C-alpha cells in the first residue's frame, strides 16, 4: 500500500532522456572532430587511457541520480498500518432567536452577536457530534441541516441576522417542531435542542410543545441572553444609531430578559435553563451535559498511516553523484591488466 504525494513531479524524469540525447550528440560530435585530425590508430597512441566504458558509466550514474531526485520530489509514501476510527456523538440542534429584540445592546456587542459567539464556542468543543441550526423570529426557518461539517455550520451561523425573517415575533413553537424533523436517525437515543433567546414575546403554548418534543426523546436546554434591567432596541443605518424602536403609543420599547418563560420550556422538556452571560461557564455546562450522555456511533472509517520515503531517494541521488565524481574517464590500470576482453597489445 503506497501513496504518491506530488505525482506531478514525475515530469522531472523527462530530464533523463533529454540528458541522454544531449550526451549522445556530444559524443558523436567529439568522435567526428577527433577523426578530422587523426585516425583510430593514432588516437589510441595519443590517448591510450581513454575509456569509452567509463564515459557511459558516468552517464549512467548521472541518470540514476536524476531519477532518484525525481522520485524524491514525488515523495512516495508507504502505508505502515490501517487504523479504524469510529465517530460517536450526540445530535445537537441550535435554535437561534433572530427577532429584533436581539439587537439590544445590554450585552456587548448585542444579544444576537453574543448568541452566535456562544454557539461558535460550543461547536468548537464538539468532536464526533452532529449539529444543526435553526433560526426563528415570527416564523422558523432551517439554516443548517444536521451535519458533521462544522466549518460550513460556522459560515452559515455568521450570516444570520434579524433581516432573515420579515415577520416579527418569537415563534419558538415552530422552532421546536422544526427541530423534531432534524433528528433523522431513529436509533439515536440522545437528542438535544439548545434554544438561545432573550425569552421575550413567545407565542403559542410553547410549554406543551416542549413536553411533546420530550416524549420523542428530545431534551431542550434554554440559554438566556440579555439582562433583567433590559435595554432599548436601536435602529441603525450604516452602523450608526438613527433612533430606537417605539411601541404604538410612541414610547421607546425596553426589552428585558424573560428567564421565567425559558425556565418553563426547559422544565417541560426535562432540560435546564442556562444563564448566557458568561461564555466560558456556558460552554463548560454544555460540555458537562453532552459528556454525560450515551454516544451513538454514526460511522466508522479506516485510515492508513503513511510514512515519507523521499529521504531514501535523496540518499541514493547523493551516492550516485559521489560515485560519479570519483569515477574518471580514463582506463583503470588494474582492470586493464586483467585484459578481460582479450585485447592484443600493440607493439610500437
Whether 294 has a pLDDT exceeding 60, the answer reads yes
Please, are residues 262 and 200 in contact by the beta-carbon 8 Å criterion? no
Q: What is the pLDDT of residue 348?
A: 42
How confident is the model over 117-146, as a mean pLDDT? Answer: 91
323 in any annotated domain? yes
Peptide bond into 109 cis (omega under 30): yes
pLDDT, mean over the chain: 83
Grid coordinates of 120: 461558535
Helix H segments across the chain?
A: 15-37, 40-46, 52-74, 111-125, 150-158, 172-182, 206-215, 259-268, 279-291, 310-326, 333-338
Q: Which domain holds residue 240?
A: 87-299
Per 3-state DSSP, what percentage of the chain is helix, strand, and coil (rounded to 5)?
Answer: 45, 25, 30
Grid coordinates of 97: 432567536
How many domains does the chain fold into? 2
- pTM for this model (two decimals): 0.63
Question: 169: Cβ–Cβ under 8 A, 6 or more apart, which residues?
Answer: 99, 137, 138, 201, 203
How confident is the model over 121-138, as a mean pLDDT? Answer: 90
How confident is the model over 37-59, as a mean pLDDT? Answer: 67
Grid coordinates of 54: 567509463
pLDDT band at 347 (very low <50, low <70, confident <90, very high): very low
Q: What is the pLDDT of residue 232?
A: 93
192 in any annotated domain? yes
Based on the fold, state whether residues 273 and 157 are members of the same structural domain: yes
14 in any annotated domain? yes
Based on the fold, state whether residues 145 and 28 are members of the same structural domain: no
158 in any annotated domain? yes
Inter-axis angle of helices 310-326 and 52-74, nearest 10:
160
DSSP letter at 129?
Answer: -
Based on the fold, state whether residues 60 and 209 are members of the same structural domain: no
SS3 of residue 249 by DSSP: coil
Please, are residues 209 and 173 in contact by the beta-carbon 8 Å criterion? yes
For residue 138, give the nearest of 184, 178, 175 by alpha carbon.
Answer: 175
> Partners of 268 in the beta sheet?
none
Based on the fold, state whether residues 51 and 161 are members of the same structural domain: no
Based on the fold, state whether residues 154 and 234 are members of the same structural domain: yes
Query: What does the buried/exposed string (b/e) look like for 29-50 if buried means 16 or more CB atoms within 10 Å of the residue's CB?
Result: eeeeebeeeeeeeeeeeeeeee
Amino acid at each position: 500500500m503506497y501513496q504518491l504525494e506530488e505525482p506531478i513531479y514525475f515530469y522531472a524524469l523527462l530530464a533523463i532522456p533529454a540528458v541522454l540525447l544531449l550526451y549522445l550528440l556530444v559524443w558523436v560530435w567529439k568522435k567526428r572532430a577527433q577523426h578530422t585530425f587523426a585516425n583510430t590508430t593514432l588516437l589510441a597512441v595519443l590517448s591510450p587511457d581513454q575509456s569509452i566504458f567509463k564515459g557511459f558509466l558516468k552517464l549512467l550514474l548521472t541518470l540514476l541520480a536524476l531519477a532518484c531526485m525525481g522520485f524524491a520530489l514525488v515523495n512516495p509514501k508507504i502505508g505502515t498500518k490501517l487504523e479504524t476510527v469510529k465517530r460517536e456523538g450526540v445530535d445537537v440542534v441550535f435554535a437561534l432567536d433572530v427577532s429584533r429584540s436581539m439587537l439590544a445592546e445590554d450585552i456587548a456587542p448585542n444579544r444576537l452577536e453574543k448568541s452566535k459567539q456562544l454557539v461558535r464556542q460550543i461547536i468548537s468543543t464538539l468532536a464526533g457530534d452532529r449539529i444543526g441550526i435553526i433560526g426563528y423570529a415570527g416564523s422558523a426557518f432551517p439554516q443548517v441541516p444536521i451535519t458533521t461539517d462544522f466549518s460550513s455550520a460556522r459560515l452559515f451561523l455568521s450570516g444570520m441576522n434579524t433581516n432573515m425573517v420579515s415577520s416579527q415575533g418569537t415563534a419558538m413553537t415552530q422552532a421546536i417542531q422544526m427541530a423534531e424533523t432534524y433528528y433523522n436517525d431513529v436509533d439515536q437515543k440522545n437528542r438535544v435542542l439548545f434554544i438561545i433567546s432573550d425569552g421575550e414575546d413567545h407565542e403559542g403554548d410553547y410549554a406543551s410543545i416542549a413536553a411533546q418534543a420530550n416524549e420523542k426523546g428530545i431534551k431542550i436546554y434554554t440559554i438566556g441572553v440579555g439582562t433583567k434591567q433590559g435595554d432599548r432596541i436601536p435602529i441603525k443605518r450604516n452602523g450608526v444609531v438613527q433612533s430606537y424602536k417605539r411601541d404604538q403609543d410612541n414610547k421607546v420599547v425596553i426589552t428585558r430578559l424573560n428567564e421565567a418563560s425559558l425556565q418553563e420550556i426547559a422544565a417541560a422538556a426535562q432540560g435546564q435553563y442556562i444563564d448566557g452571560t458568561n461564555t466560558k461557564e456556558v460552554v463548560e455546562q454544555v460540555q458537562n451535559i453532552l459528556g454525560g450522555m450515551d454516544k451513538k456511533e454514526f460511522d466508522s472509517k479506516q485510515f492508513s498511516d503513511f510514512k515519507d520515503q523521499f529521504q531514501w531517494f535523496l540518499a541514493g541521488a547523493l551516492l550516485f553523484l559521489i560515485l560519479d565524481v570519483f569515477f574518471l574517464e580514463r582506463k583503470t590500470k588494474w582492470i586493464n591488466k586483467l585484459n578481460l576482453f582479450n585485447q592484443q597489445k600493440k607493439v610500437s
